[in-house]
């Protein structure tokens, strides 16, 4: 069985790179981007998560993020998130790169973690660039204001069409470059290139690529082992 093989490889691996996407939080009832439930008031994420949308109507974009933030903050990490914490604790070398902004990885206890697309609980001043917790901001007319600069703040989230913040991908790239024994990709469609490239890079440098996903995606054809199913069920079996 492939899960037994993957379990053995994972328990023997001294270095592990994990890349997660929205699917790992699906069993925490957070809708994925491209699946059902990804719409809000008839808008697709691609229509709201852009600098242009914010410029046009910051109040609308903030309203969407406040709705999403409530969903994320009310959600609880699921057994998939917890399994990755156990994996981190026992792996001599480990890094978790997540595309998710829902905060469930840090809340479940992941520490060797990079949230490459930002975090739903943080805002950034459009004038100074200062990043601060949303709860420290001031709401005025449906938008958040940075109390230090009295200027409009935006969600500290990487939007469509924006470049990755400097340094965000470095730790993952360094590890992939140096070579990891196993790269585990969980719950991502692989549609966004930099995180998908991390996994492919790790594979090129010799890593065994294991994917956990109920559906085929862009990375599946490159996976050495595809564990077809929901991560909340499969990750606990895989990690043990
Ligand atoms: P997608 O919505 O593109 O893909 C979600 C993936 O999760 C799909 O491949 C599903 O098959 C899979 N999935 C669904 N249920 C699952 C389950 N229970 N267990 C495991 N997998 C499951 O989300 P991402 O790949 O994360 O970026 O999207 C990547 C990025 O696209 C997002 O971070 C966001 C978006 O543009 C930014 O906002 C910058």
Condensed to tens digits (0 to 9), the pLDDT of residues 28-61 reads 999 888 777 667 777 888 899 999 999 999 999 9
Q: Give the pLDDT confidence of 61-113 residue by residue, as tens digits.
A: 999 999 999 999 999 999 999 999 999 999 999 999 999 999 999 999 999 99
Of all atoms in ligand 1, which is nearest to the CA of residue 212?
Answer: 20
Tell me which residue of 108, 92, 88 sits closest to 100, measured CA to CA. 108
- The pLDDT of residue 37 is 66
**Ligand 1: distance of its center to the CA of 34 in Å?**
7
Check if 187 has its Cβ closer than 6 Å to any atom of ligand 1.
yes
Task: Supply φ then ψ for residue 17, to 5 degrees.
Answer: -115, 130
Check if 33 has its Cβ closer than 6 Å to any atom of ligand 1.
yes
pTM: 0.95
- The pLDDT of residue 31 is 87
Terminal Cα distance for the chain, rounded = 16
- The residues annotated as belonging to the active site are 117
Q: Give the pLDDT confidence of 106-134 residue by residue, as tens digits.
A: 999 999 999 999 999 999 999 999 999 99
Check if 49 has its Cβ closer than 6 Å to any atom of ligand 1.
yes
């Amino acid at each position: 069985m492939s899960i037994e093989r993957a379990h053995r490889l994972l328990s023997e691996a001294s270095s592990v790179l994990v890349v997660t996407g929205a699917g790992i939080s699906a069993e925490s009832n957070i809708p994925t981007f491209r699946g059902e439930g990804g719409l809000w008031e008839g808008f697709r994420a691609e229509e709201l998560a852009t600098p242009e949308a914010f410029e046009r109507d910051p109040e609308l974009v903030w309203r969407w993020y406040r709705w999403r933030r409530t969903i994320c903050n009310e959600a609880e990490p699921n057994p998939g998130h917890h399994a990755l914490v156990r994996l981190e604790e026992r792996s001599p070398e480990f890094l978790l790169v997540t595309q998710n902004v829902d905060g469930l990885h840090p809340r479940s206890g992941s520490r060797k973690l990079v949230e490459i697309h930002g975090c739903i609980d943080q805002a950034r001043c459009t004038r100074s660039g200062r990043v601060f917790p949303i709860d420290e901001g001031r709401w005025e007319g449906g938008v958040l204001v940075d109390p230090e600069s009295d200027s409009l703040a935006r969600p500290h989230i990487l939007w469509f069409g924006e470049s990755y913040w400097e340094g965000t991908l470095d730790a993952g790239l360094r590890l992939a470059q140096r070579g990891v024994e196993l790269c585990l990709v969980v719950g991502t469609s692989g549609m966004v290139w930099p995180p998908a490239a991390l996994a492919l890079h790790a594979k090129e440098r010799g890593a065994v690529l294991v994917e956990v996903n109920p559906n085929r995606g862009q990375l599946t054809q490159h996976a050495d082992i595809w564990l077809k199913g929901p991560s909340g069920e499969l990750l606990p079996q895989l990690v043990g």
